[in-house]
Amino acid sequence: MASTVPLVVAIYDNPGIKHWSLFIDSEDKADKTIIHLLGSRQCYFCNVRTPSDARNSNSLIELCTVCRIDSIKIDAIKNIARNTRVRNEQSDYSCQDFILDLLDRLEEEDIIDANSGNYRRNKDAIKAKRESWQ
């Protein structure tokens, strides 16, 4: 059986709305990965950083557990993230939407078990934290 690693949404303090990233919290420092959007409103691009630990940021506010994933799927998650559409044409789109879209894609690709009760509860709690641009 493959080992599993935590998949976490990291929330950071940020002017405007809070910044979100998807954090693969592997025990192996070399596999710790942050996936997020960089850029500015309507000019975002996906950034996948390995090795990178969300806990090293001074602006980190909260780590929200999503689920555990098979460690052999880490590269697949990075590839799916790189191929997740960035909706820059939408004025209210943000890094928060990107992370929610990415979770949807991970469900579609059977990386995450969408029927898991714990995952559903965790995702709903994360979705409730989504902010809108003022």
Q: Are strands 33-40 and 4-12 parallel, antiparallel or unpaired?
A: unpaired
Residue 1 has pLDDT above 70, yes or no: no
Residue 24 has pLDDT above 70, yes or no: yes
Mean pLDDT, residues 86-113 taken together: 97
Strand order in the sheet with 4-12: 43-49, 33-40, 19-24, 4-12, 60-70
Domain residue ranges in the chain: 4-127
Confidence of residue 16 (pLDDT cuts 50, 70, 90): confident
Cα angle for residues 94, 127, 103 (degrees, 5° grid): 75
